[in-house]
Chains A and B, each alone.
Chain A
Amino acid sequence: MTTLTRQDLNFGQVVADILCEFLEVAIHLILYVREVYPSGIFQKRKKYNVPVQMSCHPELNQYIQDTLHCVKPLIEKNDAEKVVVVIMDKEHHPVERFVFEMSQPPLLSISSDTLLSHVEQLLRAFILKISVCDAVLNNNPPGCSFTVLVHTRDAATRNMEKVQVIKDFPWIVADEQEVHMQEPRLIPLKTMTSDIVKMQLYVEERAQKT
């Protein structure tokens, strides 16, 4: 039995790694399922022992990786309250927002050998849920693009602006237009609770998309 606390062995880093990997897979899957990009650029890969669709396009992959690389320090310190994948139409009005709300218990300690496989199982359920989410969502108009927003607690972003984690990849404060959506409809997708993180995924959808 191992008991790790947050201070031990950069436990926060481990959790951040797990979550960022998951977010990467989830973002790719959202792009695939919501048809933001043509399905031709995706190919099947494996994660958590199930097939997932990941993009092959190098620039897209790099963008997503850079984004998550910058988000990781926030997650490590438990400053990231929400990570939102916003899908916008041609006029840059959001049509859908996939919100990943996450929180870590303050006294992180794990004392279970099966923790990792349990977390894997929960994340697998998330992936499955994203795959079938188009049952509850209306179709998007063509020509959509996406962006990633991070809502942080307190003023953690001040640090982000001072220190560019990745060169030439600045983060800016999001416009009101991107953050708020008209007439949103809330559709919860999945919730998970585990020893290391509590996460919730829901979708805000604009009532009229076209």
Chain B
Amino acid sequence: MDELYLDNIDEFVNDHDKIVTYKWLSLTLGVHVNTAKQMLYHYLDHKRKESSDPLHATYLVSGKFVDNGQTSHKVSVVKEDQLEDVKSKMSLIVSVHVYSVQKALLKDSGPLYGVDYDAVKDNLKNCSRYSAIRCASAVPRSSVELQQARHTQPAPAPEPEHKKSTTNGDATPASKPSTKPQKSIMGMFANKSALKNQDSGKEVKSEQKEDAPVVDEPKSKPAAKANPMMNFFGTQAAKKTVKQEEAAPSSSSSSAEQRRPSSQPEETHAAAAAAAAAAVEPPKNSKKDSRSKTKRMEDSDSEEEKMDKKKRRRIKKPEPDSSDEDVIPDSPQQMETREASPSPKEEVEPVSQSHQGNCEMKTRKRRRVLKSRTFVDDEGCIVTEKGYESESYSEAEDDVPKDPIPAKRPASSKPDEKKSQKKASANSNKGTKQASIMGFFQKK
């Protein structure tokens, strides 16, 4: 390859202040992703030798990782300063390559997703043109098959919570109108998105990349998921999943940005735990847009909360291939604490959601609803926490107080102790505002 690409990348990074990810570069220059990775590597090398301009890079590390005796395949996007650290923690390193190059030191992984979003959106039909993941039998479904898939999806919904996978499909009415257009394109990503949604659901508002792996957590019934997962594996979606997964662990392993991990054990545990925690999210909407990696549906139901926690913990994520993320941690404890932190975040109008859930679930099980409790903790601070409470409010036995961020807050140097979890109003404001504006234009 000629040397022009060095100038191109230089222009992007220095003149335009862009974040250059390998995927964006491959789509922009029209080259295979592996070529793009090499280009970035050479550029980084070249620049570092010749000038002292600060350039920051993030890397993607994937390999086998042993956690408490459990081996899993972990894919992470890490900052440069954590690279060696993460590499040393892995038992076997399968691949390491440059993920992105930018001038600014990124504080969190959010912009990495934003960079690729538009590029992929523009090339939606052939975004895997330059991809290295191939499966001969993965072809887009014909519209007939899509229709069939959609019809069979709502059917299992009335089943008891066991078959959680498609229940989210019924929850679609609660979802924003934006999901509707997604259906057509995303029909084939349906189940995939369920997994993703789980993930996204987990972090309420935070559509984290890190959620991605979490989503894969067996929040939903793995059995039901296994098949769709298989279908998706070879498709473009798989590429996204991989990316999501990599994003997910990477976010957990990347340093500052999550508040959650502040109290959590080290990154490795956090990654595993996060996966478990993320699993809490119900398989959000199979119809939801799986394209957004860190897709976090605002109106994630509290249905998943209604699910039996124990059951969720045991559900093993379907691992169609080694490229998926972490296995659910065994210890329920970790799950618990993990759940606490993501679930408080996952706010989204629990009450209204529970109503929705009620209509759909016709079982007599007691539902767990995420409610806010305001109390004075032992430090004399007023803390608002979200906890699971039984919907009927008959007993408080099920109220599992979570010790999310507020508890961790005192540890940090934050001056203001008064913290409340994400406010429903802010979220709902956003949610309703979005809906209203969209609805406004669609009226015409």
A127 within 8 A of B: yes
Q: Mark B401-437, 1 if CB is under 8 A from A, else 0.
A: 0000100010011101011111100110110010011
Q: Mark A119-136, 1 if CB is under 8 A from B, else 0.
A: 001001101110111111
Contacts of A33 in B (CB 8 A): 107
Q: Is the CB of B206 within 8 A of A116?
A: no
Alpha-carbon distance A115/B207, docked complex (angstroms) = 25
Q: Is the CB of A39 within 8 A of B257?
A: yes
Q: Is the interface of B mostly helix, strand, loop or mixed?
A: loop
Alpha-carbon distance A44/B202, docked complex (angstroms) = 12
Contacts of A59 in B (CB 8 A): 418
Alpha-carbon distance A132/B413, docked complex (angstroms) = 26
A67 within 8 A of B: no
Q: A40-B409, A44-B205, A128-B114 are known contacts. Are A21 and B107 too (CB-CB below 8 A)? A: no
Q: Is the CB of A128 within 8 A of B104?
A: no
Alpha-carbon distance A79/B256, docked complex (angstroms) = 40
Interface size class of A (residues with CB under 8 A): 35 or more
Contact of A50 among B106, B113, B441 (CB under 8 A): B113
Alpha-carbon distance A161/B204, docked complex (angstroms) = 39
Q: Whole-angstrom distance from the CB of A157 to the nearest CB of chain B?
A: 26
Q: Whole-angstrom distance from the CB of A39 to the nearest CB of chain B?
A: 6
Q: Mark B238-273, 1 if CB is under 8 A from A, else 0.
A: 000000000000000000110100100000000000
Contacts of A49 in B (CB 8 A): 117, 289, 292
Alpha-carbon distance A200/B271, docked complex (angstroms) = 40
Contact of A47 among B18, B104, B115, B430 (CB under 8 A): B430
Q: Is the CB of B208 within 8 A of A51?
A: yes
B111 within 8 A of A: yes
Q: Is the CB of A44 within 8 A of B208?
A: yes
Contacts of B436 in A (CB 8 A): 17
* 18 A-B residue pairings within 8 Å (CB atoms): A21-B430, A32-B107, A44-B296, A45-B422, A45-B430, A46-B205, A50-B110, A50-B114, A51-B109, A51-B110, A51-B207, A52-B110, A54-B426, A56-B419, A58-B418, A65-B426, A131-B110, A136-B104
Known: A41-B419, A135-B103. 20 other contacts (CB 8 A): A17-B437, A21-B430, A38-B412, A39-B257, A40-B409, A41-B259, A43-B422, A44-B110, A45-B422, A46-B292, A46-B294, A46-B296, A50-B292, A59-B418, A65-B426, A65-B429, A121-B118, A129-B17, A134-B105, A135-B104
* List of 9 A-B pairs having minimum Cβ-Cβ separation, nearest first: A44-B206, A45-B205, A135-B104, A51-B110, A50-B114, A2-B444, A135-B103, A131-B111, A132-B104
